[in-house]
């Protein structure tokens, strides 16, 4: 049997107009202590650079994450700055799941395979040893995948 190149699905990204309220509602619905919400509040930070459809954009976001049942539910609110994938998705489709984040055996190899299947890089960013890439696979699979690349984790795993 072949070894799967998909190592784990660990995040469901959800575009919302108010990330903190959405995470609080999620916790109330599923009886999760609201102290479990992790917030990245970009309202007082410099906008983060990223590529969106091949153009550099700057955007500030509020992200509220809840880890439950082995999955991170990431509620993403575009706060200010340029149009990016999150803002564009919310404006075109309203609130909803806009990506599933996966960890793969070989980040670049999988990006190449997705591109060969017609996948288009729509969002790309990161800093230092951490990077991410959103690949639009809606034509072939009906989903946008975010691939997560943690160079520090990979370095630790290779040095075992």
Per-residue pLDDT of 65-105, as tens digits, reads 999 988 999 999 988 888 888 888 889 989 999 999 998 88
Burial of 140 from C-beta contacts in 10 A (0-12 / 13-18 / 19+): exposed
Task: Return the DSSP state at 118.
Answer: T
Mean residue pLDDT of the chain comes to: 86
SS3 5: coil
Strands (E), the chain: 6-15, 38-41, 48-52, 55-68, 71-81, 96-104, 120-127, 130-136, 144-150
Domains of the chain: 6-158 (3.10.180.10)
- Mean of the pLDDT values across residues 37-46? 87
Q: What is the pTM of this model?
A: 0.82
In the chain the first and final C-alpha atoms are separated, in Å, by 25
């Amino acid at each position: 049997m072949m070894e799967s190149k998909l190592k784990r699905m660990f995040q469901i990204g959800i575009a919302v107009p108010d990330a903190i309220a959405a995470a609080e509602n999620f916790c109330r619905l599923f009886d999760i202590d609201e102290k479990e919400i992790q917030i990245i509040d970009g309202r007082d930070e410099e906008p983060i650079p990223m590529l969106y459809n091949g153009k550099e954009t700057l955007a500030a976001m509020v992200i509220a994450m809840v880890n439950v049942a082995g999955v991170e539910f990431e509620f993403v609110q575009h706060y200010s700055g340029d149009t990016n994938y999150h803002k564009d998705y919310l404006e075109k489709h309203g609130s909803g799941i806009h990506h599933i984040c996966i960890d793969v055996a070989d980040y670049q190899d999988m990006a190449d395979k997705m591109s060969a299947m017609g996948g288009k890089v729509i969002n790309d960013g990161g800093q230092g040893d951490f990077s991410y890439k959103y690949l639009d696979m809606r034509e072939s699979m009906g989903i946008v995948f975010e691939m997560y690349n943690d160079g520090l984790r990979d370095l630790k795993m290779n040095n075992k």
